[in-house]
Amino acid sequence: MNIVVCLKQVPDTETQIKIGPDNKSIVTDDIKWVINPYDEFGVEEALQLKEKFGGEVTVVGMGPKRVTESIRTALAMGADKGILITDDALEGSDSLATAKALAAVLKDLEYDLIFTGQRGVDDDMGVVGPALAELLGIPNLSLIVKVEAAEDGKSVKVNRPVEGETLVIESSLPALITAQKGLNEPRYASLPGIMKAKKKPLEEKTLGDLGLDAAQFGEGARKLKILEMTPPPERAAGKIVEGETPQEKAAELAKLLHEEAKVF
Amino acid sequence: MGDLQEYFGETHEMVRQTVRRFVRKEISPFVDQWEEQGEFPRELYTQAGETGILGIGYPQAYGGSGGDLFVKIAATEELMRCGSGGVAAGLGSLDISIPPILTLGTEDQKRRLIPPVLKGERIAALGITEPNAGSDVANIRTRAVRTDRHYVVNGGKTFITSGVRADQLTCAVRTGGQGAKGLSLLVIPSHLPGYAVSGKLRKMGWWASDTGQIFLDDCRVPADNLLGAEGQGFYGIMENFQKERLQLAVMANMTARMALEASIRYAREREAFGRPLSGFQVTRHKLVDMATQVEVSQEFTYRVAAKMEAGKNQFKEISMAKNFACTISDKVTHDAVQIHGGAGYMREYLVERLYRDNRILSIGGGTQEIMKEIISKQILN
């Protein structure tokens, strides 16, 4: 079973994000970059399927050169080869443009399954996976927490949690799955794995290599424009409800909820 | 513009990330509990072994992960981030007990004694210090007498990191006459009759590591476990000193860095006389001095490490780096507690532990005074 995992590099989830002077972007100077955690579930699931069915796992990433580190990390976890789409013209691309670039790479690959994260933890758009499936004309299985591949490797049965219940979907292959938290517990890129990853193939492709028109990518081609970024409001101090008796406190609380918090 | 000299590349960053994740998931949530309990679970060795963290710097032929000195530095820095020097020291006791096996051991000894330790299945400790011999290694009294196929060992070792739980002890014993030339190294399995361990020694810092006292009473150790020839013990011990001192310098630098970072956070949050501590020039300047010292010490340590990696003898320089780093961490952890005020004296604040854990760094792996002797011989002779 040949599997492709699309991977985004995002700021480490413990990074303190600072908004840049343009109010439209974040300061990236001291950021530690990691694999988007949802994409990492995809890497792990792909590796588990490979262990069972054989085949190859290819990791595709997009972005500046630093993204090679994340692709190599996936190779260190056990993936077989990597492809980085990198081109100055890609800077500032939106989700749709990203999906187009990924689709151009995938066109030339043989795959039974594609994994993406259900969303990137930086922009929280959740568009790339479904858009990519649409561009490739294959079924899209979103927010999946369990994957069972048929013994013959020709179809999958997947679970999506819906309002406390589970929706079980069966699909033919090839198909695209967007990974949700709960799918698995990703392994560490082990030290011996990291040493081996250095020798695994990692190819770089520009827009030109993919036969794509630079005008369709980057800041200028965005369908969505970022107007402004603002930090979340600082949490206000708590309030202690005064009162002699529980009854008095409850009355005071009800009054505050009504008059100050305006919840009813 | 010339190229910037970078010590860490892509591989190092990947290692850093793996160890950082390992620490966040397997260590940090439990570390306060382990500190109070006085040890961490044995499984942490196997987990760190599986991930390849224990094997950094050792040949793959013996179950190691390979990697250069900066891979080791990156991993140590991230491991120290757990905030417990004791966890780092406990996991790290193999880094003083395995190298002599690698330097002096036969192929059979390496295959037998190294892989289980790097997998985390066996805990390894180094036994040098005795009640009457610490820095004065040549005064070791534990004696090993050869019978036909065994050494009969009598004596005792103390202040042994991982000593309570160790499965094997790389032990300095006297097989010959007085002085350094009479010393040999013997790997003693702890299950042998005549090998006894005291309870955990109660310490100022490094609470999460088990430090023990070991008694050897007519302990019959297979002669197969002698490393190298009789009399090579002192050489075997010395051989690893440069790396051990580098490791301690890195630990001191990280201790200081974490104390600095905690102090910056605290100075921003804590208010006194109507403004944050960071609003007072006296605090700001203190933080600046701390930051400058940490930066300089870390850069010097890296520079010496780069020279060691290039194969240059850095006996003098690494002794300087260790002393310098420890002097800085003494100063910075002291100032960090001062900035925290009463809170810094409380166990719930990280700097309280950093202050205690730091104290051993200028004693272990060669005291500050021994370092100065080494340096003085090189600059005066």
Q: Are B196 and B164 in contact (CB under 8 A)?
A: no
Tell me which fold the domain A2-221 belongs to: Rossmann fold (3.40.50)
B150: helix, strand or coil: strand
Among B158, B205, B202, smallest CA distance to B359 is for: B205
Q: Mention every residue, 6+ apart, whose C-beta is less than 8 A from residue B346.
A: B352
Residues in chain A: 264
Q: Which residues of B142-171 are buried (b: 16+ CB within 10 A; e: fewer)?
A: bbbeeeeebbbbbbbbbbbbbbbbbebbbb
ipTM associated with this complex: 0.85
In chain A, what residues touch B73 (CB-CB under 8 Å)?
none
Contact at CB, B51 and A188, closer than 8 angstroms = yes
Sequence-ordered alpha helix ranges (H) in chain A = 37-53, 67-77, 95-106, 128-136, 191-197, 246-259
Write out chain B's pLDDT in tens, 381 residues: 577 889 999 999 999 999 999 999 999 999 999 999 999 999 999 999 999 999 999 999 999 999 999 999 999 999 999 999 999 999 999 999 999 999 999 999 999 999 999 999 999 999 999 998 888 888 899 999 999 899 999 999 999 999 999 999 999 999 999 999 999 999 999 999 999 999 899 999 999 999 999 999 999 999 999 999 999 999 999 888 999 999 999 999 999 999 999 999 999 999 999 999 999 999 999 999 999 999 999 999 999 999 999 999 999 999 999 999 999 999 999 999 999 999 999 999 999 999 999 999 999 999 999 999 999 999 998
pLDDT of residue A16: 86
Q: Which residues are paired to B219 by β-bridges?
A: B153
Question: Which of B35, B39, B230, B244 is an active site residue?
Answer: B244
Contact at CB, B21 and A191, closer than 8 angstroms = no
Q: Is the Cα dihedral A55, A57, A58, A60 positive or negative?
A: positive
Contact at CB, B55 and A68, closer than 8 angstroms = no
Q: Are A158 and A177 in contact (CB under 8 A)?
A: yes
B61/A contact by beta carbon, under 8 A: no
In chain A, where are the structural domains located?
2-221, 234-264
* Nearest chain B Cα distance for residue A232, angstroms: 19
Among B340, B363, B366, B368, smallest CA distance to B353 is for: B340
Domains of chain B: 10-118 (1.10.540.10), 124-229 (2.40.110.10), 235-380 (1.20.140.10)
B56/A contact by beta carbon, under 8 A: yes
* Nearest chain A Cα distance for residue B273, angstroms: 20
pLDDT of residue B1: 59
A162/B contact by beta carbon, under 8 A: no
Q: Which parts of chain A sit beneath pLDDT 70? A: none
Sequence-ordered alpha helix ranges (H) in chain B = 10-22, 31-37, 43-50, 69-80, 85-91, 94-97, 99-104, 107-113, 115-118, 233-239, 241-269, 281-309, 315-340, 350-358, 368-380
A2/B contact by beta carbon, under 8 A: no
| Touching A: B residues 66-85, CB under 8 Å | 66-67, 71
pTM of the model: 0.90
B13 is catalytic: no
In chain A, what residues touch B60 (CB-CB under 8 Å)?
192, 195
Q: How many CB atoms lie within 10 A of CB B238?
A: 14
Among A156, A157, A158, smallest CA distance to A173 is for: A156
A196/B contact by beta carbon, under 8 A: no
By C-alpha distance, the chain A residue nearest B21 is A188
